[in-house]
Amino acid sequence: MLTFLPDALDIAPEVLQAVSAVPTLRGYGTPPSGIDLGVAALSGTSLGGALLYTLSGGTRTIVGSAAKLEEAGATTWSDVTRTASAYSVGANRWRFAQFGNTSLAINLATVLQQSASGAFADVANAPKAALMEAASGFVMLANTDDASLGISGGPNAAQEHRWWCSQIFNPTGTWAPSVSTQATTGLLVETPGPITALRRLQSEIVAYKAKSIYVARYVGSPVVWQFQCVSTDIGCSSHEAVVAAGTVHYFVGDDDIYAFDGSRPVSIGKGVKEWFFARLNRTYISSIRAIHDRVNSRIYWFYPTTSAALTSCLVYHYDTQRWGAFDLTITDVLESITSAITYDTFADKFGTSIQYDQIPTDISYNSPYWNAATPVLSYISTADKITGLSGTASGASMTTGWYGSEDTSRFVRGCGLAIGQSRRQRPSHRPRRST
């Protein structure tokens, strides 16, 4: 089967040297395009968002900007910023977690925020942090700052290598370290640099630095969380570049792409890593954003090339271990939930004068766009609008290596094209011989 391996020699005919396509189980498909989900523009540029699942079965789509937190409705955004005071977070990114029916948001410029519904509010005696994750009955923060917050037992300082964990089953209680509540804090100083990513892996939490990886396991009081450094040479510089797929993390490292199952990182970038890192603008490697297509077993890594803008995408199909690529300019990624499109609301999406043959042709009939309450791969466009990554681009392209040899000449007298519509259908066009 043809596969995209741009690092290979161009004299290998079975290797694709260039593609604008995404890998599938059977080969390659047309890359996705954006579909406007019909929600108004955000009030500001996205600095992080998440689709959160509540314990009661509901969902919330929250996006943060420099001044606000906003929650998506069917066609508009609701301002769920804390009522006490507006946010002023600069360029710091928001990170989110769901604990039971409580939605949590964190930013290095803002103390932990909590909301069961409606507006968020400060969690008393909680630090500021760049990173957040939930596992095993706890919420963990990393790359933290508790300066001037008066948290008893805290360092009262900004420390990029520090982590905190909440009380067990109570992330909105005081974060002051206590043996009885199991709230505690610690440092990761075996390797240099700040903690750059924090991701759950089953019941464990993995903390990444740019050049190292730590695995945290819950061991009970008084230690609570025990960290073990499992790599002193491989790490990840972007929290959003780490994707959890089943029991494995996939992430972009400093010079390769890896899979990590909790024991050791394994390279998966052979054949594409030289091409990818030659295109990547390393100044903004921490800006890489990834999203997981669980239905199709694909991971999309959007990355910057000539500037800070996210303009290109590397795609990995982990079931077949094949790669793809395409170009699309975005500002952020997240999953979102679509609202139902009924006879009465159809005009809200497409206008009152639309005819049947004017329905957008880049939305396939089996696209999740048409299904109510279905998670949809989405991104925030340059117009600050939430956009479904479920359309079909106008075309795809693939460039193979050279066929033939220097010693032999071949003459092709005729050829034909076989096109299959689906897995169960025979090709709609059978090969025909031409002369």
Question: Could you read off the pLDDT of 121-139 as tens digits, one per residue?
Answer: 999 999 999 999 999 999 9
pLDDT for residue 427? 46
User: Considering the domain boundaries, does residue 419 fall inside one?
Assistant: no
Q: How far apart are CA 245 and CA 262, in angstroms?
A: 13
Q: How far apart are CA 297 and CA 291, in angstroms?
A: 11
Q: Report the pLDDT averaged over residues 323-334.
A: 97
User: Considering the domain boundaries, does residue 258 fall inside one?
Assistant: yes
Residue 44 confidence (pLDDT) above 50: yes
Q: Is 43 exposed, middle or buried (0-12, 13-18, 19+ CB in 10 A)?
A: middle
User: Considering the domain boundaries, does residue 290 fall inside one?
Assistant: yes
Per the prediction, the chain carries an average pLDDT of 90
pLDDT for residue 334? 94
Range of the domain at 197: 34-386
User: Considering the domain boundaries, does residue 393 fall inside one?
Assistant: no
pLDDT for residue 352? 63
The 10s digit of each residue's pLDDT in 250-266 is: 999 999 999 999 999 99
The 10s digit of each residue's pLDDT in 277-324 is: 999 999 999 999 999 999 999 999 999 999 999 999 999 999 999 999
Q: How many domains does the chain divide into?
A: 1
Torsion over CA: 40, 44, 45, 51 (sign) = negative
User: Considering the domain boundaries, does residue 433 fall inside one?
Assistant: no
Q: Report the pLDDT averaged over residues 72-89.
A: 95
Q: Is 340 exposed, middle or buried (0-12, 13-18, 19+ CB in 10 A)?
A: exposed
pLDDT for residue 13? 76
Question: Cα 83 to chain center, whole Å?
Answer: 30
The percentage of the chain sitting over the pLDDT mark of 70, rounded to a whole number, equals: 87
pLDDT for residue 200? 98
Residue 70 confidence (pLDDT) above 70: yes
What's the CATH code of the domain at 325?
A: 2.130.10.10
User: Considering the domain boundaries, does residue 398 fall inside one?
Assistant: no
User: Considering the domain boundaries, does residue 171 fall inside one?
Assistant: yes
Q: How far apart are CA 288 and CA 253, in angstroms?
A: 11
Least confident of 101-115, 210-224, 235-249, 370-384: 370-384
Predicted TM-score (pTM) of the model is 0.88
The 10s digit of each residue's pLDDT in 93-122 is: 999 999 999 999 999 999 999 999 999 999
User: Considering the domain boundaries, does residue 304 fall inside one?
Assistant: yes
Do residues 71 and 386 make contact, with C-beta atoms less than 8 angstroms apart?
A: no
Helix (H, G, I), strand (E, B) or coil at 132: strand
Residue partners of 282: CB distance under 8 A and separation at least 6: none
Q: How far apart are CA 357 and CA 243, in angstroms?
A: 39
The 10s digit of each residue's pLDDT in 154-211 is: 999 999 999 999 999 999 999 999 999 999 999 999 999 999 999 999 999 999 999 9
Residue 27 confidence (pLDDT) above 90: yes
Residue 369 confidence (pLDDT) above 60: no
Residue 421 confidence (pLDDT) above 60: no
Helix (H, G, I), strand (E, B) or coil at 283: helix
Residue 341 confidence (pLDDT) above 90: no
